[in-house]
Structure 1
Amino acid sequence: MSDSNTTDFTNPSTFILQGIPGLEAAYVWISIPFGAIYATALMGNFTILFIVKMEPSLHQPMYYFLCMLAITDLVLCTSTLPKMLSIFCFNSRQISFSACLTQMFFLHCFSILESGILVAMAFDRYVAICHPLRHSIILRNSILFKFSLALLLRSTMLILPFTLLARQWPYCRSNIIPHTHCEHMAVVKLACADIRVSSYYGLFVALSVMCLDMVLIALSYTQILRAIFRLPTKDARLKTFGTCSSHLCVILAFNIPRLFSFLTQRFGNNVPLHFHIFIANVYLLVPPMLNPIIYGVRTKEIRDRLLRLFTHKWT
């Protein structure tokens, strides 16, 4: 072990990402599905962006939010996957102190941004179903821009203290991070200082964002369901609810691994470390892969445009 792992130092020039401790022998095999997930996420989200850009009929609030979701997913997986694959395939574990804090910022900032986008999409479905005649007025382009800017500012202002606090701690225990990426608590636990401020603030942000966003989504869908059940026929109710099905699937794909990861990290003291890390990676990597697939399969407009694209290409 190098001296940098045991000697006192403050703000080390580099950290060492350990990967998934205990599964080193399987790194090459783990890299195969992770690489496939990354390739699928890139292809799927870029396809969504291309289709919405090229199809004028999709220039609507729902699809603008979908494009925001695709961009967020691309940033999330790209901020972690390339470095993770370099660990698994090439044993390239070093990451500079500044790069580690930058990865931490983008990772947590865009996770909160994605949660906010799902709230915005729920609000869009609420307006489209409960106030269809006012949809274009309520969600006009200027409002969409302000809404998007507010979500980005919320994410940035909540996560900026993470990196500022992490930068000012002295790191004199070790520079080895037992993780595949610079997750906030995995980094600050290396500090030889009282990190309760970072720990409590992280817990506050996680709980407040998760609870607030889920309450807002639940309120939107309560109103949506009330409007659906007032429709006169079963076919009308099913058709209207079908417009929300993609969004509901995306919410579940994002929040179930997220909640499970949060609970195991905070309360799963008897859970093996490699399981903690594996679940944290699933939370970050699976939604970017599934989201474009869900919307591509369940949204008729995108599915039809994609079919026309391939039909035109091969004829």
Structure 2
Amino acid sequence: MILESTLISKLANISPDAILMDPVKLYGAVTVNAKAQIGKYTYIGNGGYVGRGVTIGNFCSIARNAEISPINHPTDYLSCHPFQYNNNHFTDFKDYSAHQRVKGPTANPAVIGHDVWIGAGVMICQGVTVGTGAVIAGGAVVTKDVPPYAIVGGIPAQVIRYRFDETTIERLLASQWWDLEPKDMVDVDFTNVPEALEKIGAIKLHMGLKNRSVLAGTVDNSASGTSSGIVWISTPTAYADMNALDRFTSIEVISHEPGKDSTSALVAPGVYPIQSTSFDAKRGWYRLTFLVDGKPFKGKLARKKFSFKLGTTQPRGNAE
């Protein structure tokens, strides 16, 4: 979790196991629990609570005192109190800690899409999915899934209306504009949605073509890692073309130097099958693994010491 410290309040309580993309803004006493993930350009107001394992997309606007996926208590046990399944709250009290416990309720984290506006004092219950572009009115209690671009309110929350017609919603979802950076959209007229979508489509096409032009040439490993065999590929516009590596099936190694580790296993020049590719949103880089003699390569790949080209000359491989 690498973030600008000036964007995170000193009062915020963030689990070391949480993943916050850069940038994220937390105002005041925000709690972010373990395994939670928060997308770029999302901000959360004072008193916000993000439960364990919750996923929040990019460009979300979350007002003060919003609770997302708070802990459930059992209603079919002897008691609703957590003394039955954990020793939290009274850890130092001997009689409490000695209690024989049963299994507690299973967490079912909420999922929040991109560009979601959550009003002040909203509670989003466990297991709920809030679709991209949705708006939740202040004070609402959300117990059921919210469709994309719906405006909901009340207790329990009900659909009031939709932000756009069905065709426009489909176009918005297909555009995935939230993958872009604000700087990419400086010439977009946000008040005219049809024209904005046309412009964004052209921007993403242009950025994708530039990105694929880079990938068509000789590429170097972008990171100095441990002996994991993972190839990291960084391009200036990878975030706008996340699936660019899907079409490649092989890697042609041009050169591999050991860097500072002279004992590292080296890959001889040649063509090898790709095992897997993905886009790591946290780094903004592509991640690639490949096979050597039918087994995943695990050697060290120093930064700028591993040069290769991507191709389609061999089918993707599965480890033996």
For normalisation by structure 1, the TM-score amounts to: 0.26
Looking at secondary structure, tell me which structure has more helix per residue. 1
Looking at secondary structure, tell me which structure has more strand per residue. 2
The structure with the larger Rg is 2
Specify which structure has the bigger relative contact order, considering alpha-carbon pairs within 8 angstroms and separated by 6 or more residues.
1
